[in-house]
Amino acid sequence: MFIADIKELDIQDGEGARVSIYVSGCHFHCKGCHNPQAWNFNYGREFTDEDINHIVNLMDNDYISGLSILGGEPMELINQKGLVPLVNKVKEKFPNKNIWCYTGYDFEKDVLGNMVPKFEFTKDFLKKIDIVVDGQFVEDKKLVDLKFRGSYNQRKIDVQKTLETNSLVTMKFGDEVRYGGVA
Ligand code: SF4
């Protein structure tokens, strides 16, 4: 797995102050994507054990609420596999900090319906993820300063409750009223 960046402080991609990692590789190629250089699976540099230790050290501060995983596309199979040791280590060290993961895949159809039945590493990965924000970026549904997402088609999903109940559990971002929804 290749990564484009690790940010030691991110307040846009999840609640609270966070550490974030940007993985490389995404086949969706959404119009208006903010990070097209990371479509290439070999962009950036190879992810190593030192990166895992670096992220754990960055998270070892009381003001850090959790880890956000972005891309590129974290749910591309090669990236899921590469991320399992990271999410395992983060949850082992910080069981009370949360992990958010952003994906262009549809969580019900693609992740639960297709990946989970086929791949053990998908199950291993999802066991450690608290929130998934799913859906590709849609330029026509972009609003400035949306909370924790680029376009309002994207959903916030409680992964553990969804896995427990076997039925999709979505959450509010709190700004849905901006496009006619209920916040
Ligand atoms: S899914 Fe995300 S990273 Fe991939 S093209 Fe769309 S906006 Fe860019």
> Average pLDDT in the 132-147 region?
94
Global confidence as pTM: 0.96
Contact present, 68 and 18 (Cβ < 8 Å): yes
Ligand 1 midpoint to CA 36 (Å): 7
- Tokens 């060290």 locate to 93
In 141-165, which positions are buried (b, 16+ CB within 10 angstroms) versus exposed (e)? eeeeebebbbbbebbbbbbeebbee
What is the DSSP secondary-structure string of 18-84? EEEEEE---S---TT-S-GGGGSTTSSEE--HHHHHHHHHHH-STTEEEEEEESS-TTSHHHHHHHH
Compute the distance between CA of residue 142 and CA of residue 75 in angstroms, rounded to an integer. Answer: 22
Q: Is any atom of ligand 1 closer than 6 Å to the C-beta of 4?
A: no
Task: Encode pLDDT of 78-129 as tens digits.
Answer: 999 999 999 999 999 999 999 999 999 999 999 999 999 999 999 999 999 9
Q: What is the largest CA-CA distance in the chain?
A: 45
Compute the distance between CA of residue 19 and CA of residue 56 in angstroms, rounded to an integer. Answer: 9
3-state class (DSSP) for residue 153: coil
Ligand 1 midpoint to CA 33 (Å): 5
Q: Which of 37, 137, 140, 146 to mutate to test the pocket of ligand 1 (most atoms within 8 A of CB)?
A: 137
Q: Which of 28, 107, 146 to mutate to test the pocket of ligand 1 (most atoms within 8 A of CB)?
A: 28
The boundaries of the domain holding residue 59 are 2-179
> Average pLDDT in the 3-30 region?
97
Ligand 1 midpoint to CA 136 (Å): 6
Compute the distance between CA of residue 25 and CA of residue 55 in angstroms, rounded to an integer. Answer: 20
Compute the distance between CA of residue 89 and CA of residue 60 in angstroms, rounded to an integer. Answer: 12
What total of structural domains would you count in the chain?
1
182: pLDDT confidence band, cut at 50, 70 and 90? confident
pLDDT at 181: 77
179: pLDDT confidence band, cut at 50, 70 and 90? confident
Give, in order, the Cα–Cα distances in Å from 46 to each of 4, 72, 99.
Answer: 9, 14, 22
Percent of the chain residues topping a pLDDT of 90: 95
Ligand 1 midpoint to CA 183 (Å): 25
Contact present, 173 and 152 (Cβ < 8 Å): no
pLDDT at 89: 98
